[in-house]
Amino acid sequence: MQRLIFFITILIISTSSALAQTVIKGTVKDAKGVSVPGANIYIKDSFDGVNSLSDGSFSFTTEESGNQMLVVSFIGFKTFEQAVILNKKTLLVEVTLEEEINKLDGVTITAGAFEASDVKKVTVLKPLDIVTTASAAGDIMGAINTLPGTATVGESGRLFVRGGEGYETKVFIDGLEVRNAFGATAPNVPTRGRFSPFLFKGVTFSTGGYSAEYGQALSSSLILNSNDLAEQTQGDISLMSVGGDLAYTKRWDNTSVSGKVQYTDLRPYQHMVNQFFDWQQAPVGKVGELVFRQKVNKNGLLKVYTNIDVSNFKIRFPNINRDGIKDTVSIDNNYAYVNANYKDIINAKWSIRGGLSSTYNREKAGFNQDKVDELEKGLHGKLAFDWDASEKITVNMGSEFFHKRFDRSFNLTDGDSDRFGFDDNTVASFIEADYFASNKLVLRTGLRYEHSSLVNQDWVSPRLAMSYKLNDYGQFSLAWGRFLQSPQNEYAFVNRQLAPEQATHHILNYQYIKEGRVFRVETYWKKYNDLIKFQSLNDFNPMNFNNAGFGEAKGVDVFWRDGKTFKNTDYWVSYSFVDSKRNYQDFNALATPSFLSKHNFSWVVKHMVEPIRTQFGATYNYGSSRPFHNPNNDGFQNDRTPDYHDLSLNAAILLKQNIIIYMSSSNIFGRDNIFSYEYASQPNTLGIYERQAVRQGAKRFIFLGVFITLTKDGKENQLQNL
């Protein structure tokens, strides 16, 4: 009898408990109505909950009562919370989860942009690639020239992008303008970039469609982001076949200071290696750099960079119009660049950045007994803000000011001395917003306004871009925009009312990145308007200069990189096809410019041999024939150069933990690459215009260097920089 009473009591208690429970059931779906399996559903601050099934349904019981909070969470979606009243009955809940936007690792705009960074996860290049490319010889521009969209113009050394001239690429350091970013040179003598790649932690190279924050470039922008605080105190000694340098860095808790002096002298080298050029005095250069970094508070960082560059040379060219008698060209160049910038985070939604850069470039050029003295001064100030307006919208906006002063004076043997010059003050504002519609779709719209005091005109340049992520590895991007650039100094000082040249870009891009492999393909169409036209280059009649020029460029760029397939080996391949025609400058018809190769191909490979602690590298560059005007033939731009080929090799040997031997050679097969021809102004007695080839200065350039790093532990080296 007692046992029966016990079981009845247990039954009554169990029944009471069951009646005291609330059943919560429902489904979990996303905004498109698709079921979300595996979502975590629970009562906040309790242990009661369950995971959704494959069809998104769920059901569980709870003994909690009264006002409670139901929580539903799942990776990639915002956490869902809903207040509920638990009253011992069945509660039905339909849950719709909203996608959580990931601005860092979600879709990004890739149309027309190559990024080299150690900060972002998804990049095509790393800063290390800039200085380990065999054909580059430590030149940033040389490494960039292995990317699709660029063309090899061996007699220049500048960046020619997608049918654009060398001046159509603009360089920025930490968002601030760099004028005269290439070293001084003479006609048909290649130059190099002025800045060491060791200074930068990231590089963004835009082949078109770049941000509204940047202007005054028709074709391309090269944005260099400098290093932050130095990691440690160290000294570096470099002994090279063309000179040497000494560098020292001191690091404190919140401050670092770096200094460097460099001396370059090609005279001993050119005595050992046969030169096609007749150097009366080989190039000699002296460079000094000072870098200051100061952490101001938890997030604020002040950077100041100073570069002083003094160089000179004298070279003799045979004059085809004077029976081979040589003209003497001399260049003395004094250059100074200062860049001071500051960035900080104001609060969770706002950050600020701004700065001031100043450029001084004085070049004294001699042509036989004639003298030309040029002075250009530039000033650029910028203040910009980044605003996280909401989870889905970020805004980049700011204003900037540019000042340029250009003077040119002549002292000619057959004429009077004269002097020309002009000032131009440009104010600009920009605003650009990214709308993250989802983790698969981002839209960007931008607007740039500029006003020039020289011509007293205003311009508005709209920019649009979007990207759609197909899956975790691949995405499409589109970009469209208008871009303008003020006339070059040699045109503006003749006619100060020339309007900026303009270009409109249309870009479609696909990029795929997975497990150390990158594939990109991009097609584009670029339309030029208001290009400068003139009758002859040395004409100083302003009436003969106008903005009547026009043209277009269209093509396809392909890039493949693989660092996964072969052990200790990394390589990339790039190919560019471009079809471009212009009627500009002194052209008398629509034609392909002389600097343009229709086909360009690059192959870069790097392999580390660990047993001998040596990294080997090779670069092959190809450019198809380029058009030029041959006065002996009918028509215009009626002849073509031979194709361009160059195979370069390099090796970096870790001799000791802190000592590296580095060697490289361009054009190892000694191919005689010809870039163009110069023709006599008058025919000979047979009615033929005689010519001479424009070629490289030597069959190959050979570089040898020893790099020594001095630190407290003696274990650091510059292998990551070579």
pLDDT bracket for residue 7 (50, 70, 90): very low
- 175 and 26 within one domain: no
Please report whether residue 108 resides in a domain.
no
Say yes or no: 67 and 202 in one domain: no
**327 class by beta-carbon count within 10 Å (0-12 exposed, 13-18 middle, 19+ buried):** middle
**Which of the pair, 718 or 541, is modelled with greater confidence?**
541
- Whether residue 407 is found in the same domain as residue 298: yes
Please check whether residues 480 and 602 belong to one and the same domain: yes
State yes or no: pLDDT of 17 exceeds 70: no
Burial 684-709 (b: 16+ CB within 10 A, else e): eeeeebbbeebbbbbbbbbbebebbb
pLDDT exceeds 80 at position 594: yes
Please compute the mean of the pLDDT values over residues 262-280 and round it to a whole number. Answer: 85
Q: Which residues pair with 582 in a beta bridge?
A: 551, 591
Residue 56 counted as domain residue: yes
Boundary of a domain, candidates 97, 126, 155: 97
Is the pLDDT reported for residue 20 higher than 90? no
Q: Are residues 75 and 177 in the same domain?
A: no
Over residues 524-539, the mean pLDDT reads: 89
pLDDT at 414: 73
**The residue type at 683:** P
Q: Domain boundary at 54, 71, 97, which?
A: 97
Residue 416: predicted pLDDT: 64
Examine the domain organization and report whether 81 and 180 are in the same domain. Answer: no
Judge if 88 and 206 occupy the same domain. no
Determine, yes or no, domain membership for 104: no
The pLDDT score that the predictor gives to residue 718 is: 53
- Please indicate, yes or no, if residue 627 is contained in any of the structural domains: yes
Assess if residue 79 is contained within a domain: yes
Q: Which domain holds residue 68?
A: 2-97
Residues 72 and 121 in one domain: no
What is the CATH number for 84?
Answer: 2.60.40.1120
Q: What is the largest CA-CA distance in the chain?
A: 140
- How far, in Å, CA of 187 to CA of 587, rounded? 20
Q: Is residue 102 part of a domain?
A: no
Give the pLDDT mean for 603-608: 91
Which of 97, 128, 152 represents a domain boundary (last residue)? 97
Angle at 511 between CA 388 and CA 441, to 5 degrees: 35
List, for residues 385-414, the tens digit of each pLDDT value.
999 998 889 999 999 999 999 998 888 777
What pLDDT, in 10s, does the model give residues 438-452? 878 889 999 999 999
Q: What are the tens digits of pLDDT across the range 340-375? A: 999 999 998 999 999 999 999 999 998 888 898 999
In this structure, the answer to whether residues 19 and 126 fall within a common structural domain is no
**Is the pLDDT score of 19 beyond 80?**
no
Kindly report the three-state secondary structure assignment for every residue of 650-661.
Answer: EEEEEEECCEEE
Among the listed ranges 44-58, 135-149, 605-619, which one has the minimum average pLDDT value?
Answer: 135-149
pLDDT attached to residue 716:
60
Which pLDDT belongs to residue 324? 76
Per-residue confidence band for 600, with pLDDT thresholds at 50, 70 and 90: very high
Q: How many domains does the chain have?
A: 2
Q: Which helix (H) or strand (E) holds 80?
A: strand 80-86
pLDDT tens, 654-689? 877 778 888 888 899 989 999 999 999 899 989 899
Q: Is the pLDDT of residue 382 over 90?
A: yes
b/e per residue 100-111 (b: at least 16 CB within 10 A)? ebeeeebbbbbb
Containing 435, the helix (H) or strand (E) segment is strand 418-436
**Least confidently predicted of 77-91, 127-141, 240-254:** 127-141
Q: What is the pLDDT of residue 122?
A: 39
Check whether residue 93 and residue 123 sit in a common domain: no
Question: Number of C-alpha atoms within 13 angstroms, CB side, residue 703?
Answer: 30
* Same domain assignment for residues 447 and 590: yes
Dist CA 19 CA 504 (whole Å) = 73
pTM over 0.75: yes
- What is the pLDDT at residue 132? 64
Q: What is the CATH number of the domain that holds 280?
A: 2.40.170.20
pLDDT at position 308: 95
* pLDDT higher than 60, residue 112: no
Report which of residues 41 and 116 the model is more confident about.
41
Do 396 and 316 share a structural domain? yes
DSSP-derived secondary structure letter, 244: E
